[in-house]
Chain A
């Protein structure tokens, strides 16, 4: 019985795989074999998993594996050539570039999606309409004097503000503190932290005077339990949404997330096929898993960048982090 079910399942899979192949290029892809080893950020993982899942129908014989060691943990393996691709929720750090150079690993940096860091409060909180970046900074900076909501704006109630944030090892925390407080990791220490963003959602949903931040997908799937706060980054208050994150108006709290491909591994046809497939299908797939696609132009730049095997990071100096991806990636 079991065998019959397995056989019919496999037959179905084979049929599905064959159905995908129409012309000659596709049948070539279907014959591809080999391994693609991926590790890195758990934030990027859902996208890479979705791409790997779809890639199965194109090149069923390529064995793709994806780990979740975190951006930093993944780079430790990537920089000594143990993996082919690293998922990263932040740009590569200078120390990691040095390590890669030591082991003669060259990398191609490719952005794949946006994540809009969302600042949220409890739905019962009826007084907060928006927060400016300066106010966020007063709340979150190291040694902050803000204890109650009244300390932020005088007309707000004198109720203790409970703070929730992702764990200090996460890329989300790094990006938020760097953007708001000016230095990655610099932050007051009296907040509830969790590596699991679902715990933050539960915490804020159960606490009327809470404030917290995390990735947009976690707000998007819990709209009934949370209230979003519009952020004023000097151009008026903007709420994060697929549109405002995609066109860059939700600034400065939207960040690009990346894959880093080893130039040596990219010489292998299965890695080359996988990365091209990734960049071509990313726009559709990132929406499925709760992220926001990059502008079309940026995907085109990324495909061109990978095609010409341009190595190195586009973030050459501190000021580059405030420029848009389209500007940075333009050939």
Chain B
């Protein structure tokens, strides 16, 4: 009897240990792949990455070419996209979680939002061209691009914001209401602050997606060569991924190395953006405890 139990126990321990190693291995595999990717890009791109590259306009000579308009275009685009999609996303999530009656209509909206998350990004580009560029007559502006990008990331922003709002314990709501707050006060002073870190996580993830998109922006008319930096939401714009895409298709091998340098700049912009969002999230969490 004891021998049997012993061998069973050993087997269970073995499975448990193996599973742990499997998970560790799979995680390491992802990290390793990312490492290889970054190493390859850095190897090709680092020699080109200097102050001149960051502050110059595009050029036909690789040694004179730079990404200044593309960096600023990307910053403008992402900032505007955040300004548009965050309030809309949070408002939609609050409505669905706090106000809407659970019925056919809210189920219908829910299904639609989840389906929209799976629509290929080019389709949003076609929509953006028809609605924002032509119908709203915004032209090939960074605002039209940002509105299109907002549509693209809203499903993810809404879904993750809803998860965050749902995770706020009901006891908090009941306590607030029992003390006489209105629904608005309850949401403003209790639900939103408690849900904000979770909401920000969703926003970070979706903005990281928006920053790397090219296909919808080609359709809404983002430029590749642009001799100036955007100075208003109605300005025309170029973005980093589009510049990388164009350079990587050039016949001269130097331009493919420039593309790698462009990827590095894009990664830095992405890391800076995410780091500031993580910092914000940290501050909100701290402020509450």
Contacts and interface: CB of A to CB of B under 8 A. Distances in A.
B256 A53 contact: no
Contacts of A288: 60-61
Interface in A196-243: 196-198, 215, 217-218, 220-222
A62 to B, nearest CB: 8
B227 interface: yes
B221 interface: yes
A92 interface: no
B208 to A, nearest CB: 24
Contact of A6 (B55, B226, B248): B55
Given A197-B249, A222-B251, A66 B55 contact: no
B146 interface: no
B236 A37 contact: yes
A261 interface: no
Nearest to A67: B223
B248 A196 contact: yes
Interface stretch (A40-48, A151-159, A252-260): A40-48
A221 B253 CA distance: 8
Given A63-B227, A63-B228, A290 B252 contact: yes
A12 to B, nearest CB: 11
Contact of A49 (B55, B58, B140, B222): B58
Contacts of B72: none
Contacts of A64: 225-227
Interface string B2-20: 0000000000000000000
A65 to B, nearest CB: 4
A233 B226 CA distance: 41
B82 interface: no
B218 interface: yes
B167 to A, nearest CB: 43
Contacts of B51: 5
Interface string A35-62: 1010100100110111011001000001
B57 A53 contact: yes
Interface size class of A (residues with CB under 8 A): 35 or more
A9 B52 CA distance: 9
Interface in B174-226: 218-219, 221-226
A62 B228 CA distance: 9
Interface in A124-166: none
B250 interface: yes
A289 interface: yes
A93 B222 CA distance: 24
B227 A46 contact: no
B225 A49 contact: yes
B221 A45 contact: no
A49 B253 CA distance: 18
A30 to B, nearest CB: 14
A197 B140 contact: no
Interface string A1-21: 000011001000000000000
B241 to A, nearest CB: 13
Nearest to A219: B251
B251 A218 contact: yes
Given A65-B236, A66-B226, A49 B60 contact: yes
A77 interface: yes
Interface in B38-76: 51, 55, 57-61
A38 to B, nearest CB: 8
Given A65-B236, A82-B139, A45 B251 contact: no
A197 B226 CA distance: 24
B98 interface: no
B251 A65 contact: no
Contacts of A73: 218-219
Given A42-B246, A196-B249, A218-B251, A82 B227 contact: no
Given A217-B251, A285-B60, 11 more contacts: A37-B236, A48-B225, A67-B140, A67-B221, A67-B222, A69-B218, A69-B221, A73-B218, A82-B140, A221-B251, A290-B252
In the complex, the 10 A-B pairs of residues with the closest C-beta atoms, listed nearest first: A65-B223, A66-B225, A50-B60, A221-B251, A217-B251, A49-B225, A218-B251, A65-B236, A65-B226, A67-B223
Interface of A: 5-6, 9, 35, 37, 39, 42, 45-46, 48-50, 52-53, 56, 62-69, 73, 77, 80, 82, 195-198, 215, 217-218, 220-222, 285, 288-290
